[in-house]
Structure 1
Amino acid sequence: MIRLENIGKQNGHQILFIEASATLLKGERVGLVGPNGAGKTTLFRMIAGQEHPDEGLVAVDRGVTIGYFHQDVGEMSGRSAVSEVMDGAGPVSAVASELKQLEDAMIDPDRADDMEEIIERYGEVQARFEELDGYALEGRAREILAGLSFTQEMMDSDVGALSGGWKMRVALARILIMRPDAMLLDEPSNHLDLESLIWLEEFLKAYEGVLLMTSHDREFMNRIVTKVVEIDGGALTTYSGNYVFYEQQRAQSEKQAQAQFERQQAMLAKEIKFIERFKARASHAAQVQSRVKKLEKIDRVEPPKRRQTVLFEFPPAPRSGDDVITLKNVHKSYGARRIYEGLNFQVRRNERWCVMGVNGAGKSTLLKLVAGSSLPDDGAVAQGGSVKMGYFAQHAMELLDGERSVFQSLEDSFPQAGQGSLRTLAGCFGFSGDDVEKKCRVLSGGEKARLVMAKMLYDPPNFLVLDEPTNHLDLATKEMLITALSNYEGAMLFVSHDRRFLAALSNRVLELTPDGVHVYGGGYTEYVARTGHEAPGLRS
């Protein structure tokens, strides 16, 4: 369906692709992987026809329709979310919009004199709506939006009133309802809660066209893709299998390439030693000359390119008392909406609690109460002895001073630390070389999240409260964080929709449901085994 033939592409001074080739066939679900800046978004744009290669060919079979979801959703306002989604399927949304206006006009007493004309027009528009299969389409749009965790009220409200994250879901739903022959999904798992993520997973598994996607969610990627295309050093390399298989194959290929490189280096060293030893002896001149010519003809094996992964090691945190945080008979409401009525909960030293619950269950509210950024309406929140808390919240990224550089921001937080120590810290969280001189105002969401996390973890707290800490992190940084937190000796309370993060780090589960609070000993993996579902909203 889609062929990339010997493509070359350069952005400014950066070479993205050199004679790169790959093929995408109907029914394949392909994961696109590669380090940040490797050219993943550029590849999407070339396939979608929004950019062209400098050399080579991007060939899409005649008649193939392409749906492209990307992070820049643009302006949305003036229509309901369901109308916006239906618009993804073509002109039917305009017909639906007129139908709704006519329905409103029919019950408007001020339009009574025009009723005959309105009813006649309504009949014409309704016939056109039925002809376009509009009623079925609206049902599909609502089903997709419900899968992405929209309430009926949100579906019918002006999309302009939604937050950026919810608008992203509307943009994703527009692509899903299209049913294109090829779907290009650039980070579709961003901004989704766990229930929506699992719904999307099942939707994409059933999709019959060709799917090309990127995702920073390892588990999501692993469950969907049947093939992986890697961008590395300007080339495209294809691996059959899921993401875990790709990781294994890549590691094996690196090992083989390293062994081949080392064997050749040993042989070259031996030959060079012989030449150096006997080059002055006339009796060995012929042998020396022969070996020099042999070395000149050898194709040199390049050392394998290694991905730089820097691990962050926690300095030891001070020991806290056994009781870290205690909530007694806590009540909390927002207006008429009651979040907690008489909540009792305690975190003890070395416990790692993940908090589960559907949107609106009160997960972030609980973390705010524990961190002291929100107060209970009634009841008490008591912090234990010698507790030093680190709180990661989404709004923390907005508090960075935009005019300070990454390095200056670290220096401001740790004026006693040495430059070398802070540069090492910056490197662990993905800021190497000139990146440390970037102003905070130009950082991406992921870079801001990494900087906030670096500042929180350098002088380690013994109690971490983390609200969606992996939201903006790429796969490599997530893996580094999971490894670091696995060796962390303090207590944790966190919310996350990343199943790998949940499974790797939790040893207790607090589930918030309309029926009340449920506590599970054992971590997320045991929770799934005991309940039979991966998220509270999926309860049958």
Structure 2
Amino acid sequence: MIRLDSISKQNGLQILFIEASAVLQRGEKVGLVGPNGAGKTTLFRMIIGREPPDEGQVLVDRGISIGFFSQDVGEMSGRSAVAEVMDGAGDVSTVAAELQALEAALADPARADEMEALIERFGEVQGRFESLGGYALEGRAREVLAGLSFSQEMMEADVGALSGGWKMRVALARILLMRPDVMLLDEPSNHLDLESLIWLEQFLAGYDGALLMTSHDREFMNRVINKVIEIDGGTLTSYAGNYEFYEQQRAMAERQQQAQFERQQAMLAKEIKFIERFKARASHAAQVQSRVKKLEKIDRVQPPRRRQAVAFEFLPAPRSGDDVVKLRKVHKRYGSRVIYEGLDLLVRRRERCCVLGTNGAGKSTLLKLVAGSTEPDEGTVALGGSVRMGYFAQHAMDLLDGEQSVFEALESEFPRAGQGSLRTLAGCFGFSGDDVDKRCRVLSGGEKARLVMAKMLYDPPNFLVLDEPTNHLDMATKEMLIAALAQYEGTMLFVSHDRHFLAALSNRVVELTPEGVHEYGGGYTEYVARTGHEAPGLHS
């Protein structure tokens, strides 16, 4: 369906692709992987024709419909979420617009003399609309929006009043409703809660078109894709299988290449030693010459390119008292919406509580109450003795000083820390080389999140309250964060939609339901085993 044929592409001084080739076949579900800045978004833009390759060609089969979802959703306002989604449904939305115009024309007395032609055209368009499933379109649009956690009120409300994250869901719903022959999805798992993520997984499993997508959620990737295309050092390499299988194949290929490299290096060293030893002797001149020629002809094996994964040793957190935070008979409402009535909760030292609950159950509200950024209407929230808290929330990113560079932001927080130590810290969170000199105001949402996380974990508090800490983090940074938090000896209370993060770090689950709090010991994996579902809103 889509062929990338010996494409080369350069952005400024950065070479993204060198004579790279790959194919997307009908029915394939492909994960596009590679380090940040490797050219994943550029590849999408070349496929949809927004950017040409410098050399080579991108061949798309004639008549193929392509739906592209990107993080840049543009302006949306003046229509309901349902209308916005239906408007993007390809041919059917064009036909719907003509049908609407014809209905208006038929009701216009000034066009009475055109009535016969209008009625005939209306019949044709109505037939086409029906054959495209137009009358079922609104029902399908609502189904997709409900799957992405929209309430009926949100579906009807002006899309302009929605936050950026919800607008992204509207943009994603447009592509899903369109059901094109090929879907290109750039980070569709960002901004989704756990229920929406699992619904999207199931939707894509039932989609019979071809799919090319990026995602920083390894569990999501694993369940959706059946092939991986890797961008690495300007080349495209295809691997059959899911993400886990790709990782195994890649590790095996690296080990083989390393072994081959080492064998060749040993052989070369032996030959060079012989040449050095006997080059001055006339009796060995022929042998020396023959070996020199042999070495000149050998194809040199390159060592595998190592991904720079920086591990950081975080300082140990000071010890707190045994009771870290206690909520007693907490009532909380927003206007007429009751969030809690008489909530009781105790978090103890070294517990890693993940908070689960459907949309609107009050997960973020619970974290805000604990962090003191919102007050209960009734009841008490009390921190225990010697508790030093660090709170990561999405709004924390707005508190960065826009004029400071990344390095200055870290330096002003930790004036006594050594430069080398702070540079290593920055590298851990994806700021390598000149990235540390970027001003905070030009950072993307993901970069800001990483900087806030770095500031919080360099000298860690003994109680971490984390609201969606993995949003925007790439897989390598996420793995580093999981490894760091696995060694962390303090207490954690967190909300995340990343199942790998939940399973790796939680040892207790607090589930918020309309009937009250349900608690499960043993973490997320045990919760799934005991309840038979991966999220509170889904029952298998």
Q: Separation in 2 of the partners of 1:124 and 1:512? A: 55
Map of 2:255 onto structure 1: 255
Q: Which one of the candidate residues 114, 129, 134 is aligned to 1:132?
A: 129
1:494 aligns with 2:491: no
Residue aligning to 2:212: 212
| Contact kept? 1:83, 1:97, Cα under 8 Å | no
Residue equivalent to 2:236? 236
CA positional deviation for 1:276: 1.1
1:110-144 C-alpha deviation (Å, 9 max, x unpaired)? x9x99x9xxx9999979955751332011111111
Partner of 2:20: 20
Cα pair distance change 1:137/1:255, threshold 3 Å: same
Residue 193 of structure 1: aligned partner: 193
Mean Cα deviation higher: 52-61 or 235-244 = 52-61
| 2:481 corresponds to | 481
Alpha-carbon distance between aligned partners in 2 of 1:99 and 1:321, rounded to the nearest angstrom: 69
Change (3 A) 1:293 1:157: same
- Give 1:499's aligned amino acid: R
Structure 2 CA distance, aligned partners of 1:414 and 1:315?
13
Match of residue 107 from structure 1: none
Which residue number corresponds to residue 537 of structure 2?
537
Give the superposition deviation at 1:312: 2.1
Contact 1:325–1:346 under 8 Å retained in 2: yes
Structure 2 CA distance for aligned equivalents of residues 275 and 473 of structure 1: 52
* Map of 2:406 onto structure 1: 406
Residue 261 of structure 1 deviates from its aligned partner by 0.6
CA distance in 2, matches of 1:309, 1:81: 41
Give runs of ≥4 in structure 1 deviating > 2 Å.
90-104, 120-131
Native 8 Å contact 1:159 1:167 kept in 2: yes
* CA distance 1:359–1:45, shift in 2 (3 Å): same
Is the Cα contact below 8 Å between 1:410 and 1:455 reproduced in 2?
Answer: yes
1: CA distance, partners of 2:319 / 2:510: 24
Q: CA deviation at 1:338?
A: 1.2
SS in 2 for 1:459: coil
1:536 alignment partner, SS class: coil
Contact 1:26 1:210 in 2 (8 A): yes
Q: State TM-score, norm by structure 1.
A: 0.94
Matches within 5 A, 1:170-189: 170-189=170-189
1:350 matched residue in structure 2: 350
| Within-5 A mapping of 1:73-472 | 73-90=73-90, 92-93=92-93, 131-133=128-130, 134-472=134-472
1:96 Cα offset (Å): 5.9
SS in 1 for 2:480: helix
SS at match of 1:146: helix
| Contact 1:81 1:156 (C-alpha < 8 Å) held by counterparts | yes
- Partner deviation per Cα, 1:166-214 (whole Å, 9 max, x = no partner): 1111111111111111111110111111111001101111111110000
Q: What displacement does 1:313 show?
A: 2.0
Answering whether residue 506 of structure 2 is matched by residue 506 of structure 1, we say: yes
Aligned residue identity for 1:525: T
Structure 1 Cα separation of the partners of residues 162 and 96 of structure 2: 21
C-alpha displacement of 1:310: 0.5
Mapped contact 2:402–2:440 kept (Cα < 8 A): yes
When residues 137 and 355 of structure 1 are mapped into structure 2, their CA distance, relative to the original with a 3 A threshold, is same
Q: 1:124 to 1:286 in 2, by over 3 A?
A: closer
Change (3 A) 1:97 1:5: closer
Alignment: residue pair count: 531
Cα separation, partners in 2 of 1:90 and 1:2, compared to 1, 3 Å? closer
TM-score between the two structures when normalised by the length of structure 2: 0.94
Please tell me the residue identity of whatever aligns with 2:152.
Q
Report the Cα distance in structure 2 between the residues aligned to 1:96 and 1:142, rounded to whole angstroms.
Answer: 17
Between stretches 511-520 and 402-411, larger displacement belongs to 511-520
Question: Partner of 2:75: helix, strand, or coil?
Answer: coil
Cα-to-partner distance string for 1:440-477 (whole Å, 9 max, x where unaligned): 01111111111100100011111110000001101110
Distance 1:143 1:130, change over 3 A: farther
Write the distance in 1 (CA, Å) between the matches of 2:519 and 2:99: 49
Q: Determine if contact 1:333/1:377 at 8 Å carries over to the other structure.
A: yes
In the TM superposition, residue 319 of structure 1 has moved relative to its aligned partner by 0.8
CA–CA distance in 2 between the matches of 1:122 and 1:333?
Answer: 54
2: distance between equivalents of 1:89 and 1:359? Answer: 26
The Cα shift of 1:437 comes to 0.5
1:97 is displaced (CA, Å) by 7.4
Identity within the alignment, %: 80
Q: Which residue of 2 aligns with 1:47?
A: 47
Separation (CA, whole Å) in 1 of partners of 2:269 and 2:247: 33
Letter in 1 for 2:304: P
Structure 2 CA distance for aligned equivalents of residues 162 and 5 of structure 1: 41
Change in Cα spacing, 1:485 to 1:154, as seen in structure 2 (3 Å) is same
Report the 3-state secondary structure (helix = DSSP H, G, I; strand = E; otherwise coil) of the residue aligned with 1:537.
Answer: coil
Contact 2:96 2:129 in 1 (8 A): no
**Cross-structure match for 2:31:** 31
CA change 1:90–1:81 in 2 (3 A) is same
Which deviates further from its counterpart, 491-500 or 4-13? 4-13
Classify the secondary structure of the residue corresponding to 1:89: coil
Q: Does the Cα contact within 8 Å between 2:95 and 2:128 map onto a contact in 1? A: no
Q: Which runs of 5+ in 2 are unaligned?
A: none
